[in-house]
Amino acid sequence: MTQTQISREQHIAAASVLARQHPALRIVREEHERLAAIVHGMRYLLRTVEETGAQPNLKVFRAMLLYISEYPERLHHPKEDLYLFAPLRRHTREYDATLLELEAQHAQGEALVRRLEHLLARYEFGGAAEFAPFREQVGHYADFYFRHMRLEEEVIFPALREHLSAEEWKEADRAFSANDDPLAGKELKQSFERLFTLIVSITPAPMGLGPALQ
């Protein structure tokens, strides 16, 4: 079995454990994976452009950036803060530094996305000369995001399982599972579902369902 296969098996096993334990953590992991898929898609497209010289449909990048800028800020992070991070703080001060770091990373992530949007506009209007800065910033953002995700899943998830009460888990599970999101509303959540579907449909194969880059 290769190292990649081992990592995949470990990831599936971890996801299975979470699914059996708490819907809230399973949903957070699913949201992480969806955001990760967007970031991987961006990196793949840029690598293809660099290797083949093919010209991408910049609508794909704009849709991807819209998703990673709006979804975490309006749906993902507020629920984490209210239903997971705040209860953990009430139980223990052991993870205060990590939680502060995660919250700072939320703000840093927004700034990085704004920078990506700026560099995409420069690439769109400046052509090939502006490709490298955009590609490098996507790589920087990807490294940042995956570090952030690992910190939550590898440090905070175990702490939550150790400290949160049954009643707190019930509240968190209900909030994360609710069709009518109390923090955002069903309509907003559905709009992100439609945006993700659009991204999949216009992203070139093999990462999406759109036509391959020529």
Residues of the chain with pLDDT under 70: 1-21, 179-192, 195, 202-214
- pTM here? 0.76
Q: What pLDDT was estimated at residue 212?
A: 56
SS3 210: strand
| Structure token pair of residue 122 | 């420069």
For 92-122, what is each residue's pLDDT tens digit? Answer: 999 999 999 998 988 888 899 999 999 999 9
- Those residues whose C-beta lies under 8 Å from the C-beta of residue 47, and which sit 6 or more positions away, are none
* N-to-C CA span, the chain: 35
For 177-202, what is each residue's pLDDT tens digit? Answer: 874 444 455 555 666 677 677 777 76
Instruction: Tell me the average pLDDT of the chain.
Output: 81
Q: What pLDDT was estimated at residue 166?
A: 94
Instruction: State the residue for tokens 């990462």.
Output: 207
Q: Look up the CATH architecture of domain 26-202.
A: Up-down Bundle (1.20)
Kindly state the DSSP code that residue 213 receives in the 8-state scheme.
P
